[in-house]
Each structure stands twice: as C-alpha cells, then as structure tokens.
Amino acid sequence: AIILVHWLLTVWGCMNYMLPVSYAWGNFSVLAVGIWAIVQRDSLDAITMFLTGLLLTVLTDIIHISIFYPSREYLSDAKRFSIGMAIFSLLLKPVSCYLVYRMYRERGGE
C-alpha cells in the first residue's frame, strides 16, 4: 500500500512538468527499492535501503518544492493540483517511514 500510494502521488506530482526530472528519478528509484524490499521479505539490506531512501527523499522533496514552486501569476489549476499532490506525498512520507521502520524491526533489525 505504501508503494502504491507514493507511486500514484508521484505520478500526479510529475504530470505538469513543473518539478524537475530529478524529482521523478529520486522518488521512482526509491519506490523501485521498495518493490525489492517487498519481494525479498527476509532481507534487512533491502528494507534498510528503502527506509534510507524515503528519509532522503523527504529532504530532496522539500528542496524541489521550495525552489520550483511557481509564482502566483503562473499558477494554473493543473499546476496547483500537481504541486498539491507532491506536497501531500511529502506529508505522508514520515508516516511511511514509521511503517517501514516497524517492518525493519519485524525482520530483526535493531
């Protein structure tokens, strides 16, 4: 569910070409590592990399949104929706990090 929600929000956040390509690459690569963590349920490395990637994308998302937020005269409804989904994804990431950390603990992480 975490992967699916963040994938959908990232797709919606990228659909107006307001955020740079690095936003999409960063988020989609972390989601690919998340798929790896789902497939290999006994791997601590996969879940650790997924948690680290989620934490790093929190920082990079803040930077991307703050730098590339458009001024008021260039803010259309489509851009407002796109940036809103990117912000919503950013707000959900701490909850996702907590859930992934619980999965890490269940797999035997310290």
- Which string of DSSP letters, residue by residue, matches 46-109? HHHHHHHHHHHHHHHHHHHHHHHPPPGGG--HHHHHHHHHHHHHHHHHHHHHHHHHHHHHHTT-
**How many structural domains are present in the chain?**
1
Domain span at residue 85 reads 1-107
**pLDDT, position 76:** 82
> How confident is the prediction along the chain (110 residues), in pLDDT tens digits per residue?
888 898 998 888 888 877 888 988 999 999 999 999 889 888 888 889 999 999 999 999 999 888 888 777 777 888 888 888 889 999 999 999 999 898 888 887 77
